[in-house]
Structure 1
C-alpha cells in the first residue's frame, strides 16, 4: 500500500541504476541544487512520451534555475533505453528498475497490465521536488496517465520559489 511522503520531511531514499551505467542516488545529489524526480509509466505510454518530450524542451531552463532532473520508471534497462532513444530525451538522466517497494514509499499508484505492450506491474506518474537538504518540497502523483503537472508553469515559478524562500505546503496535520 503506498504511503504519501510529507512535504517538509525527509524524502524517501532512492537509488536506481542509470541506462548509461552507474547509479542515480538521491542522497548523492548536488548540495546546491534541487532534485526533480519525474516518474513515468514506461515505454508503453504515449502520454509519457509527450510529457517527457515537453520536459526535454524545458530541461536547460530547469538546470539554469537550480533544478537537476531525472526520469524514473519501473521499466527494465532495455525498455528505459528504448524510451530515452526513441523519445529523444538526451541528455536527461534515465533511471530504471524502480521496485514496488520504492514506488509505494514515494506514494505512487500501481497498475497491472491490460495489454501485452504493458509490463506486468508499473507505477502511474509522479513528480517530486527534493531540496538539497533531502527534504521533500513538493509531490504530485496521479492514479491515471492523463493528469500531469504543467511543467511550463513550474519552470516559470521556480524563481519566485527561490527568491521568496517559499515553504513546502501541505504540511498541516
Structure 2
C-alpha cells in the first residue's frame, strides 16, 4: 500500500471546516505571522484531550504572540464540539468540527472505532500540524493512541528559533 501521509516541505492538504460559531474556516485563507497550528483531538469523550487542550489554552496567548494562529479540530458534531469548547474553557481558540474521514486520512491521522457508548462510532486519534503562511506543511505529528502527544511547551519555546534561524522543515523525503 502506498504511503499517503502528508510530507513536510510540500503543500499542506486542503482543510475547510465549519466552526462552532457558525462560520467557515479555510486553511487556504489563513494569514498567520509564522504558522497556523492545527490541533486534531479525538473528541469530547477523551479526558486526555481535555487535559491537553486545557494546557494549550494556557499557552494560547504565547503562541499568538509568536505569530502562531491555532485551531482545534475533531470529527465530533457541532453539539459535542461546542460542549468541549465550553466545558473545557477553550474560548477564544477557534473550534472546528465534523472533520471527515477523507480529511483525517489526508492529514495522516489514524482512525479508531469506538469501544464504548461514550465514544463515537469512528474518530481520529490526535495529531498536530504547523503550516506556513504560504500553505506549506512545516511539521506534522500523528499518534495512533491518545497517550502520545507533542510537548507544547517545547514547541512554543522553539518557534522563535525556527524563525530566526530559518530552520527548514524536516522529514521532507517521501517514503
Q: TM-score range by the shorter chain?
A: over 0.9
2:37 aligns with 36
Cα distance between partner residues in 1 of 2:114 and 2:173:
36
1:53-64 aligned at under 5 Å gives the runs 53-64=54-65
Answer yes or no: is the 8 Å Cα contact 2:42–2:124 preserved in 1: yes
State whether structure 2 residue 104 is matched by structure 1 residue 92.
Answer: no
Is the Cα–Cα contact under 8 Å of residues 31 and 133 in structure 1 kept in the other structure? no
Counterpart in 1 of 2:19?
18
Q: CA deviation at 1:172?
A: 2.6
1:35/1:132 contact within 8 Å kept: yes
Query: Could you give the per-residue CA deviations for residues 65-120 of structure 1, whole angstroms, max 9, x where no partner exists?
Result: 01000000000000000000000000000000000000000000000010000010
1:31 CA drift (Å): 5.5
Partner residue, 1:140? 141
After superposition, the C-alpha distances for 1:132-166 in whole angstroms (9 at most, x for unaligned) are 00000000000000000000000001000000000
* 1:3, distance to aligned residue in structure 2 (A): 2.3
Name stretches of at least 5 consecutive residues in structure 2 with no aligned partner: none
Counterpart of 1:165 in 2: which secondary structure?
coil
Structure 2 match to 1:5: 6
How many Å separate the matches in 2 of 1:3 and 1:18?
27
- In structure 1, the partner of 2:82 is 81
Moved over 4 A (4+): none
Contact 2:32–2:67 (CA<8 Å) still a contact in 1? no
Question: 1:123 aligned to 2:158?
Answer: no
Normalised by the length of structure 1, the TM-score is 0.97
Partner of 2:46: 45
* Structure 1 Cα separation of the partners of residues 105 and 141 of structure 2: 14
Measured on the aligned residues, the alpha-carbon RMSD in Å equals: 1.2
Distance 1:100 1:47 in 2: 22
